[in-house]
Structure 1
Amino acid sequence: MDPTVIEERLREAFPGADVRLRDLTGTRDHWGCTVISKAFEGLGLVRRHQAVYACLNDLMAGDSAPIHALQLNTLTPSEAQKEA
């Protein structure tokens, strides 16, 4: 899977977001993904992950989907600043 497709989807769903992808296995189907967005303010972890999955669902559904695994780290800008 071309990572730019994932990045574009996430940036469209979360305007102004900082999106970082890591190919976890070298096979381009298992991704580590960090999304830093103001849209996550006031949302719990489950709701944040649901929002990310919603915009990538068609890339993850079914046995032949191009994304087989997605490890998420979803942060607000202030949370990201604290982790830095």
Structure 2
Amino acid sequence: MDPSVIEQRILQAMPEADVHVESDDNVHYLARIVSDEFAGLNRIQRHRRIHAALGPALGQEIHALSLDLKTPDEAAA
């Protein structure tokens, strides 16, 4: 799956987010996402938010996904 497809799926669920997805092989991905929606959420809750946005593609077209999830304040620090 092309990284831009993953970016679009995340942006559909979180339209205001700043989303960047990288992959060298279109199977293993690194997603860096900055969003106000992460405020007040712990790490697991943030990950669940992204997993829900990607749905069944996780474990099928997406073999491995590393997530770097921050609020704007955390990203600026």
TM-score, scaled relative to structure 2 = 0.93
- The SS at the match of 1:10 is helix
- Structure with higher Rg: it is 1
Q: What is the rounded CA distance, in whole Å, between the counterparts of 2:55 and 2:64 in structure 1?
A: 12
Matches within 5 A, 1:8-27: 8-23=8-23, 26-27=24-25
SS at match of 2:12: helix
Give the distance between the partners of 1:11 and 1:50, measured in 2 at CA: 15
Matched with 2:72 is 77
Give how far 1:66 is off: 1.0
Where structure 2 has 5 or more consecutive residues not aligned to the other structure, the ranges are none
* Separation in 1, partners of 2:8, 2:22: 15
Report the equivalent of 1:30.
28
Which residues of structure 1 form unaligned runs of 5+? none
Q: Is the 8 A contact 2:18 2:35 kept in 1?
A: yes
Length, aligned pairs only: 77
Amino acid at match of 1:5: V
- How much identity, in percent, do the aligned residues show? 39
Extract structure 1 runs of 4+ deviating beyond 6 A: none
Q: Is the partner of 1:67 in helix, strand or coil?
A: coil
Q: State the 1:57 CA deviation.
A: 2.2
